[in-house]
Amino acid sequence: MKLAAKVLKKPIASTLIAVLFGFIVAAVVLVAAGYNPGQSFGALFHGIFAKPKYISNVIIKATPIILTGLSVAFAFQTGLFNIGAEGQYIAGAVAAVLVGVKLDLPPVLQIPVVVMAGVLGGTLFGWIVGYLKARFGIHEVITSIMLNWIGLYLSNFVVASGTYHMPNSTSTYPVNPSSYTMLLPNWKTSKAGMAALKPHQWLYEVMLKTDVNFGFLVAVLMAAIIWYLLYRSAKGYELRAVGFNRDAAEFAGINVNKNITDAMVIAGALAGLAGALAITGTAPHKISTLAAFENNGFNGLSVALIAGSSPIGCIFAGLLFGGLLYGGQSVQQDVGAPTEIINIMIGTIVFFVALTKIVPVLAEKLEKRGAGHVQ
């Protein structure tokens, strides 16, 4: 009993329980909708793990939401609620396209320039939110929600603008191939590359049929950097101190306003990086007219929540989320269940994660009851 209580008190345990409950509820929903849950989950896992290229696709799908998740988690650790990751992501993508379409340098220069442009785009959006909060005390939730819409319409404006709009399409021109961050983008489609890859079936599939790119490595690296920044540096200590208690931090001589702005700038930069890497790393390498948000940023909120705002946790939560998003397509293709079921499942998992605060309480009760029995 004691052991059970101890295990339950660990945050990871409650997250896993939440995920489990998510699946159980999804199973109930599937049965109610007339689909076989076993078969559906089979299709889900088959769609995630059956082939190396599926796993590769999951990782590709997870990359942007790991970064936006990191953005939200980081802001949350510093006491800010960055609901604007969506807008910052869009700003990053737009900035990357603006630069990447017009500029055509050798890849060694082009890639950093385009990615930095994206980072700056996100940074700008983050900075606006941080500055308004620090200078005028305007709540970051309000300003960042508004900026999400500004980002959406800015993106649509760029898509419709004369120099960027590709005729007969609903999108801009793609960025120049020199900005691609896939693994050997030119070599793998060349004759020599195809011939070299052909004998290795799985490598051939992964390389040619998916957009294997460096984004995931960058995301992991960023997670490590953010972890170091938050927990191993003086700056991180200040940032977190402001998050815990503004007044106490101010009393201790920490510049609160500067730290708020800095926190939003970093959060914005992370989300902008996600947008830029999505443009450089995955087809179609361009932005299209957005009817609604693509949820890259909002999914980041879920990722941060599942990860309990831990930077390293974001990697795994992002992979889980990416797996569900990508594998969900196979449930629909194989079983015929609408993808909405998968959305319900994701929603339930997040819902139960939000409820996980209950688990330690339950664990405590369990402990007490155990103690009662002993006496």
Beta carbon nearer to another protein, 50 or 221: 50
Asked if 39 is part of the footprint of another protein (rule: CB under 8 A), the reply reads no
Choose, by CB under 8 A, the member of 26, 40, 53, 276 that binds another protein: 53
Shortest distance, position 375 Cβ to another protein, whole Å: 34
Asked if 83 is part of the footprint of another protein (rule: CB under 8 A), the reply reads yes
Shortest distance, position 224 Cβ to another protein, whole Å: 24
Site string for another protein, 160-199 (x = CB under 8 A): x------xxxxx----------------------------
Task: Report how far residue 54's alpha carbon sits from residue 335's, in angstroms, rounded to the nearest whole number.
Answer: 18
Partners of 182 in the β-ladder? 213
Task: Report how far residue 226's alpha carbon sits from residue 307's, in angstroms, rounded to the nearest whole number.
Answer: 14
Choose, by CB under 8 A, the member of 135, 200, 209, 232 that binds another protein: 209
Asked if 36 is part of the footprint of another protein (rule: CB under 8 A), the reply reads no
Beta carbon nearer to another protein, 88 or 302: 302
**How far is residue 8 from each of residues 22, 148, 352, measured CA to CA in Å?**
17, 38, 15
Choose, by CB under 8 A, the member of 1, 2, 49, 81 that binds another protein: 81
Beta carbon nearer to another protein, 101 or 124: 101
Binding to another protein in span 126-145, by CB under 8 A: 141
The DSSP string of 174-213 is PPPGGG--BSSHHHHHSHHHHHHHTTSHHHHHHHHHS--B
Output phi, psi for 52, to 5 deg: -55, -35
Number of residues that bind another protein (CB under 8 A): 55
Best CA proximity match to 327, nearest among 306, 345, 315, 312: 345
Question: Is the separation of the CB atoms in 220 and 250 below 8 Å?
Answer: no
Beta carbon nearer to another protein, 357 or 373: 357
Best CA proximity match to 164, nearest among 179, 176, 177: 176
Task: Report how far residue 139's alpha carbon sits from residue 129's, in angstroms, rounded to the nearest whole number.
Answer: 8
**How far is residue 246 from each of residues 106, 126, 136, 242, 264, measured CA to CA in Å?**
47, 20, 15, 5, 16
Asked if 334 is part of the footprint of another protein (rule: CB under 8 A), the reply reads yes
Asked if 259 is part of the footprint of another protein (rule: CB under 8 A), the reply reads no
**Which residues are at the interface with another protein (CB under 8 A)?**
47, 51, 53, 57, 76, 79, 81, 83, 141, 156, 160, 167-171, 208-211, 278, 282-284, 288-289, 291-292, 294-295, 298-299, 301-302, 305, 326, 329-330, 332-334, 336, 338-340, 343-344, 346-347, 350-351, 353-355, 357
